[in-house]
Structure 1
Amino acid sequence: MDVFQDFGINLHQILTITTDNAANMIKSVADLNQELNEEQAVESDEEQNVDHLELMPSDLVSSGVQSIRCGAHTIQLCVNDVIKTESIKQNIDTCRSVSKKLRTTYYRSMLKNGGHKAAFIDCITRWNSTYKMIERLLLLKSIITSLGNINAELYLTENSWTFMTELVSALKPFYTATLKLQSGKLCFSDLFIILMDLDFEVQNLPENELKVMFLQALNKRKTALLEGDLFTAAIYLDPRIRISLSASQIVTAKKCIESLYKRIQCLKDRTYEHKFIDTCPCDDNDKPFP
């Protein structure tokens, strides 16, 4: 609150704060709203003849600051839920050992002289680098198979190659979705489209254990990401996907938009700068919906 005041920012001007999924980040936004509510309660007590100033639970969506979870970080958690399981981790460790061996001076020179691309070593905290590492091993499969007949450290079983093929196929939709979320020209509703595309692509993967694991992880994580009246309102305002909303969701979206409209109207009027936002009297002619 002190920082906002230093920069002349009215907290009511802040609609959302985008954070990762860490519990401390989610709690920080909740603490900010609690501080705001306490401040509003003090101001309401000090006001004279303010019967209309009343805190209602339904007003919280527009009077408070909502926490929006980062889409890219949520996708990262989905992937980590799978690749950090012990069985998957062991297979990835095997792939990493081969990549490290291929990065030594001798084998790196051999690959270069043969016109092959160099092996790639991942950063274990960046799943997309693990995806690229295994993708590169698949590209080098023929030469690795030949070298594996000479050097046991480079030998990979057919089960290992099958695992790599299935993992790259499963990770590719997540990798593509992450790249889309890095665009500088996205609106809130694009997140819904990207996640639905991701869900569709994963469901259409060949049937195997990895597919089941990734679907479970995606279903577990995406619910918290897509919930909230603001997100419903964003979908309603996007003609590409409005049809996906139910009748009750449309009603919720309209109420949310109307509430935000009144909030903006109040912010325009300096006389309401220190009053509770949603209590601003709004003329029927000003309402955005009939």
Structure 2
Amino acid sequence: MIELIKIHTGINLKEEIQTILKKYQIDLKQIYSITVDNGANMLKMVDTKARDQLNNDNDLSNSNENNLSQILFNTSVSYQENVCIDDENVSVYSDEETPEGIDEENISDDISKSFGLSCIRCSAHTIQLAVNMFIKKYLKLDLEKIRIIIKLIKSHKYKRLFIMDKVSKPTLDTVTRWNSTYLMMKNLMDNKTFYTKMGELYPETFISFDLWDIILLGTSVLFPLYKFTMKLQKSNIVIGDFFASWLECKMELEEMDNNLSKSMLECLNIRESYLFQNDAFRSAIYMDPRFHYENGKYPLEEDKILAREHIFATWKQLQAIDPHEENTTLVMPSTSDYKKTKLDLYIERDCKKGPIFYELCNSDIKLKIKSLLYNKRLPSSQDILQYWVSRKHQDAELFKLSQIILAAPCTQVSVERAFSALALTVTSLRTRLDKDILDDILIIKLNRTLLNNVIF
């Protein structure tokens, strides 16, 4: 945790990160991914770090395999000023680096394709973009009407009614935080009888039947997304777990089968296409048998090829750092039958008939990576990290790759928790803490689960 004095440009952020890496003796080529939001300065920072990573390895810069500089160290980068990071909305901006008219939602992910370092967008922010698209297209005008009414009924004139009926006043939503929009509409629905009665007594607060229908549909459509963001508050959310919740959310919207739910589903599908443009994301899905198995529809065939290239590039860089890797034999593990849930059936829907299984014995890492095509599908409730631990002795090479590929953080929840820890540490009575002491305190406070490994 550092305090930034300079303006938050991509170049300045890059220099600060370089200082931190040097302090903890972390080589640039040890970095596998950086998880950021959609801020232009953050994307530029990752871009410049990726270029440095490639240029620092002479062997790789003379080859055409641009994806070889990747490995091991996962970090979620953020900073305190000009930042709003929480589980509902993540936004970072820089007036200097975000010229007027730039569409930050559509900044290309190509920076992660040409260089080794993977830039992962925070999944909470991905949901934010999808919901924002939905609200702007289908709810904007109705929400403006709702906000006008809520501003009116929050006035002192109606305070007595809320006290007599023991109803809490609705909270006006924050436009940049869609969860607050859901909670605002939910408060109206939960107290519909009260607000209907108020509308009869005071016609200026009357909510029309058409608007009530919109509030009902909007609340029901946003509820699966709201549950989704609550799940993302957990620690250690791997990309596969995020994608399972993503598909579960889509499944619930399909079951609603109304115009608004279909529109929300359309917005999610648009954002999903962006997710699979990321090397780290599609590689994590490729190594997750809950989604990737023979004849499965995730990922797409072209994405499977790109994922294999990325995973092999990661392996090459791993060999460059740790060449003493034993060569083991791969035998596809058998899994017992399991009771399929609704999500399992949803994942298997529209898949080809099959699957076909093979038992492969080989020692070539390329073949081992390709052999993941023949995995038997795991139930959606399976802990993917425990699954790969169970394969540790069957194939140490793929296990080691899984520890890297699946470790990429898909959210910035850890950043929010770090800010909370900072607020509890730097109190009004401890404002003169030396920055190095503060850093040491936070290292211990935020990594308590690791202390058993370093304290004897």
TM-score (norm 2): 0.52
Paired residue for 1:193? 244
Is the CA contact 2:68–2:314 (under 8 Å) kept in the aligned structure 1?
Answer: no
Q: Which of residues 47, 63, 85 in structure 2 aligns to 1:30?
A: 47
Paired residue for 2:7? none
Report the Cα distance in structure 2 between the residues aligned to 1:81 and 1:247, rounded to whole angstroms: 25
Q: Which of residues 199, 202, 215 in structure 1 aligns to 2:265?
A: 215
Report the Cα distance in structure 2 between the residues aligned to 1:259 and 1:282, rounded to whole angstroms: 16
What is the root-mean-square deviation in Å for CA atoms of aligned residues?
3.0
Q: What whole-Å deviation, never above 9, does each CA across 1:183-226 have from its counterpart, x for those lacking one?
A: 11311211221211122222222322x23432222122121123
| 1:224–1:53 distance in 2 versus 1, CA, 3 Å | closer
1:66 matched to 2:118: yes
SS in 1 for 2:257: coil
Report the Cα distance in structure 2 between the residues aligned to 1:29 and 1:53, rounded to whole angstroms: 18
Name whichever of 149-158 and 250-259 sits farther off. Answer: 250-259
SS in 2 for 1:204: helix
Q: What whole-Å deviation, never above 9, does each CA across 1:80-121 have from its counterpart, x for those lacking one?
A: 112234x62221122122222332334234223213233222
Paired residue for 2:230? 179
Q: Which of residues 29, 48, 67 in structure 2 aligns to 1:12?
A: 29
Q: Counterpart of 1:214 in structure 2: which amino acid?
A: M
SS in 2 for 1:183: coil
Long gaps (5+) in structure 2: 1-14, 72-115, 329-362, 369-456
Paired residue for 1:277? none
Is the CA contact 1:99–1:133 (under 8 Å) kept in the aligned structure 2?
Answer: no
Paired residue for 2:334? none
SS in 2 for 1:62: coil
SS in 2 for 1:67: strand
Is the CA contact 1:189–1:234 (under 8 Å) kept in the aligned structure 2?
Answer: yes
Q: Counterpart of 1:164 in structure 2: which amino acid?
A: I
Q: What whole-Å deviation, never above 9, does each CA across 1:44-97 have from its counterpart, x for those lacking one?
A: 5xxxxxxx9842235347372101111110110111112234x62221122122
Determine which structure has the larger helix proportion and give its number.
1
SS in 1 for 2:176: coil
Q: CA deviation at 1:156?
A: 1.0
Paired residue for 2:201? 150
Report the Cα distance in structure 1 between the residues aligned to 2:125 and 2:67, rounded to whole angstroms: 29
Report the Cα distance in structure 2 between the residues aligned to 1:267 and 1:211, rounded to whole angstroms: 49
Kindly report which structure 2 residues correspond to 1:109-188, keeping only aligned pairs within 5 A, or say none.
109-188=160-239
Report the Cα distance in structure 1 between the residues aligned to 2:165 and 2:43, rounded to whole angstroms: 52
1:78 matched to 2:130: yes
Q: Which of residues 64, 70, 73 in structure 2 aligns to 1:56?
A: 64
Paired residue for 1:263? 317
Long gaps (5+) in structure 1: 45-51, 269-279
Report the Cα distance in structure 2 between the residues aligned to 1:183 and 1:120, rounded to whole angstroms: 26
| 1:112–1:173 distance in 2 versus 1, CA, 3 Å | same
Paired residue for 1:272? none
Q: What whole-Å deviation, never above 9, does each CA across 1:99-149 have from its counterpart, x for those lacking one?
A: 223323342342232132332221222110011001101112112112112
Q: Counterpart of 1:75 in structure 2: which amino acid?
A: I
Percent identical:
29
Report the Cα distance in structure 1 between the residues aligned to 2:300 and 2:200, rounded to whole angstroms: 64
Q: Counterpart of 1:36 in structure 2: which amino acid?
A: Q
SS in 2 for 1:194: helix
Q: What whole-Å deviation, never above 9, does each CA across 1:132-190 have from its counterpart, x for those lacking one?
A: 00110111211211211221221111110011111111111111111112211311211
| 1:232–1:88 distance in 2 versus 1, CA, 3 Å | closer
Q: Counterpart of 2:25 in structure 1: which amino acid?
A: G
Q: CA deviation at 1:14?
A: 0.9
Report the Cα distance in structure 2 between the residues aligned to 1:281 and 1:155, rounded to whole angstroms: 74
Report the Cα distance in structure 2 between the residues aligned to 1:80 and 1:30, rounded to whole angstroms: 26
1:225 matched to 2:275: yes
Paired residue for 1:275? none
Report the Cα distance in structure 2 between the residues aligned to 1:53 and 1:145, rounded to whole angstroms: 69
SS in 1 for 2:247: helix
SS in 2 for 1:120: coil
SS in 2 for 1:186: coil
| 1:186–1:228 distance in 2 versus 1, CA, 3 Å | same
TM-score (norm 1): 0.79
Q: Counterpart of 2:217 in structure 1: which amino acid?
A: E
Is the CA contact 1:170–1:202 (under 8 Å) kept in the aligned structure 2?
Answer: yes
Q: What whole-Å deviation, never above 9, does each CA across 1:14-46 have from its counterpart, x for those lacking one?
A: 1011111234433332222123333334xx5xx
| 1:264–1:145 distance in 2 versus 1, CA, 3 Å | same
Report the Cα distance in structure 2 between the residues aligned to 1:22 and 1:169, rounded to whole angstroms: 31
Paired residue for 2:155? 104
Report the Cα distance in structure 1 between the residues aligned to 2:145 and 2:44, rounded to whole angstroms: 39
Aligned length: 268
Paired residue for 1:205? 256
Q: Counterpart of 1:263 in structure 2: which amino acid?
A: Q
SS in 2 for 1:119: coil
Report the Cα distance in structure 1 between the residues aligned to 2:286 and 2:149, rounded to whole angstroms: 50
Report the Cα distance in structure 1 between the residues aligned to 2:236 and 2:36, rounded to whole angstroms: 19
